[in-house]
Structure 1
Amino acid sequence: MSDVVLTATDGAVLTITLNRPESLNAMNPELLDTLAEVTRRAADDPAIRCVVITGAGRAFCAGGDVKAMAEGNQQAGSGGSSLVSRADVLRQQEEVSRLLHEMPKPTIAAINGVAAGAGLSVALAADLRIASDQARFTTAFARVGFSGDFGGTWLLQRLVGPMRARELYFLSEIIDAARALELGLVSRVVPHDQLMDETMALARRLAAGPTLAYARMKDNFVFGETNTFADTLTREAENMVASARTEDHRNAALAFVEKREPVFHGR
């Protein structure tokens, strides 16, 4: 597999690292295709109970590779692929955002530096975001005449509200980690040299938790994003009853009565 995306397993935690540090992990076609495939495998692997995504070097991800885009635009101007086919390819690459958002296991973005454009969108798709105090954030799209992709518009307005999301997209201002925490873009900010230690401690905790319950929690959240309150109550009830039938629930209930810590096996 291409080395533009690296993977490492620590117990039940999979870390995905974007690995084009010389270009601030900018997304070229090779990275995008590989990232989508790696994330799909992680979503489908029952041995993986938590997924971390981060970047190598000084950046999380600077967004799309503008140099590659400019070259692609020249080719398109001389008879390249059609608008529809290019959109289809992009949509398949965007699956990384959907998978991080919907896969039935917790996902964490460890934001070690700049997260811009599609890189920010991918970070927003994770369930939790831990940022280095050196991290910087920008939507960036307006700076290069783009409208945005990888789900950023859908995700951002749910985090900060429609008006603030529009402002962040229209102006493409760069915000620091403290402001990102204030806005609710990240769940915590830590010293730069502690980022991966803090992230992995959280990831291991989640991986040791009730993964079947986490999957149903995520299902409730995702369902509720596009359905009514009444329908979401029904979905919650169905998932609650299903959770009650698991071995993990029975063992945890007994551990609660016996005043000891439960052990979850994902069954």
Structure 2
Amino acid sequence: MSDVVLTSVEDAVMVITMNRPESLNAMTPEMLDTLADVAAKAAADPAIRCVVITGAGRAFCAGGDVKAMAAANEAAASGGGGLVSRVDVLRQQEEVSRLLHEMPKPTIAAVNGVAAGAGLSVALAADLRIASDQARFTTAFAKVGFSGDFGGTWLLQRLVGPMRARELYFLSDVIDAARALELGIVSRVVPHDQFWAETMALAKRLASGPTLAYARMKDNFVYGETNTFADTLTREAENMVASGQTEDHRNAARAFVEKREPVFHGR
């Protein structure tokens, strides 16, 4: 695997690290292809019960590598690929966002520093975002004449509302971690020197939880984003009955009656 993306596993938590610290983890095609591949493998691996995505060094991700994009634009202008093929390539790279949002296990974006452009979009795709108090956030796209990708417009307006999301996209202002918490972009802000310990404590807590129930909870949320309330009630009923058939539920019910902590095995 490319060293622009690093992975490690601890206590069923996979940590995916964007690893171009010298460029604030700006995304190259190689990084994007690798991220999509790694996320797909994490989603399919039952031994992975929680996924954390973060950045090496002092940034989460500064977005797309503008130098690489400029080179690609020059190549395209010289006949190096049609519009349709470029859309197809970008759409495949965007799979990392879909997988973080939809994979049947909890995902956390650990925002250790700046999250900009597509980097912010990828962070928004995770279920939870924990931020260092040194983190900064900006959509950034307007500053380089781009409209946005990796699902940011779809995700951000559901977090902060359509009007505020448009403002954040149109103006591309930089906001600090406290403002991101106030807007609901992140779920918690942690002092930088405690950031990684708290991130992993949260991830391990989720990894030790009811994996199968989490998967069905996520299915309810994702389904409900684009379906009616009545249809979502049906989906919830289906998932509730199915989760009630698991060994995890039966063991947890016994633990509740016996006044002890349940242990979940993902069965």
Normalised-by-shorter TM-score class: over 0.9
Q: Separation in 2 of the partners of 1:197 and 1:19?
A: 20
Q: Separation in 1 of the partners of 2:74 and 2:129?
A: 37
Counterpart for residue 261 of structure 1: 261
Give TM-score, length-normalised by structure 2.
Answer: 1.00
Counterpart for residue 8 of structure 1: 8
Deviations 1:14-50 (A, max 9, x none): 0000000000000000000001000100000000000
Aligned length: 267
Which 4+ residue blocks in structure 1 deviate beyond 4 angstroms?
none
- State the SS of the aligned residue for 1:51: strand
Unaligned runs of 5+ in 2: none
- State the SS of the aligned residue for 1:81: coil
Counterpart for residue 162 of structure 2: 162
Q: Separation in 1 of the partners of 2:4 and 2:80?
A: 25
One-letter amino acid of the structure 1 residue matched with residue 173 of structure 2? E
Residue 69 (1) aligns with residue 43 (2): no
Counterpart for residue 211 of structure 1: 211
Counterpart for residue 53 of structure 2: 53
Q: Separation in 2 of the partners of 1:121 and 1:91?
A: 14
Q: Separation in 1 of the partners of 2:40 and 2:194?
A: 28
Q: Give the CA deviation at 1:13.
A: 0.3
Q: Separation in 2 of the partners of 1:62 and 1:155?
A: 18
Matches of residues 182-201 of structure 1 in structure 2 within 5 Å?
182-201=182-201
Q: Give the CA deviation at 1:73.
A: 1.1
Q: Separation in 1 of the partners of 2:51 and 2:195?
A: 15
Q: Separation in 2 of the partners of 1:7 and 1:189?
A: 24
Q: Separation in 2 of the partners of 1:248 and 1:27?
A: 40
Q: Give the CA deviation at 1:72.
A: 1.1
- State the SS of the aligned residue for 1:137: strand
Q: Separation in 1 of the partners of 2:69 and 2:183?
A: 31
Q: Separation in 2 of the partners of 1:246 and 1:41?
A: 24
Q: Give the CA deviation at 1:78.
A: 1.1
Counterpart for residue 107 of structure 1: 107
Counterpart for residue 116 of structure 2: 116
Q: Separation in 1 of the partners of 2:87 and 2:100?
A: 21
Q: Separation in 1 of the partners of 2:103 and 2:193?
A: 29
Matches of residues 236-255 of structure 1 in structure 2 within 5 Å?
236-255=236-255
One-letter amino acid of the structure 2 residue matched with residue 6 of structure 1? L
Q: Separation in 1 of the partners of 2:44 and 2:166?
A: 35
Q: Give the CA deviation at 1:104.
A: 0.2
Counterpart for residue 128 of structure 1: 128
Matches of residues 142-157 of structure 1 in structure 2 within 5 Å?
142-157=142-157
Q: Separation in 1 of the partners of 2:40 and 2:66?
A: 26
Q: Give the CA deviation at 1:87.
A: 0.4
- State the SS of the aligned residue for 2:134: coil
One-letter amino acid of the structure 1 residue matched with residue 240 of structure 2? M
Q: Separation in 1 of the partners of 2:144 and 2:113?
A: 21
Q: Separation in 1 of the partners of 2:216 and 2:72?
A: 42
Deviations 1:132-182 (A, max 9, x none): 000000000000000000000000000000000000000000000000000
Q: Separation in 2 of the partners of 1:195 and 1:85?
A: 40
Q: Give the CA deviation at 1:110.
A: 0.4
Give TM-score, length-normalised by structure 1.
Answer: 1.00
- State the SS of the aligned residue for 1:15: strand
Counterpart for residue 44 of structure 1: 44
Q: Give the CA deviation at 1:75.
A: 1.2
Matches of residues 29-40 of structure 1 in structure 2 within 5 Å?
29-40=29-40
Q: Separation in 2 of the partners of 1:155 and 1:120?
A: 10
Deviations 1:228-255 (A, max 9, x none): 0000000000000001100000000000
How large is the Cα RMSD of the aligned pairs?
0.4
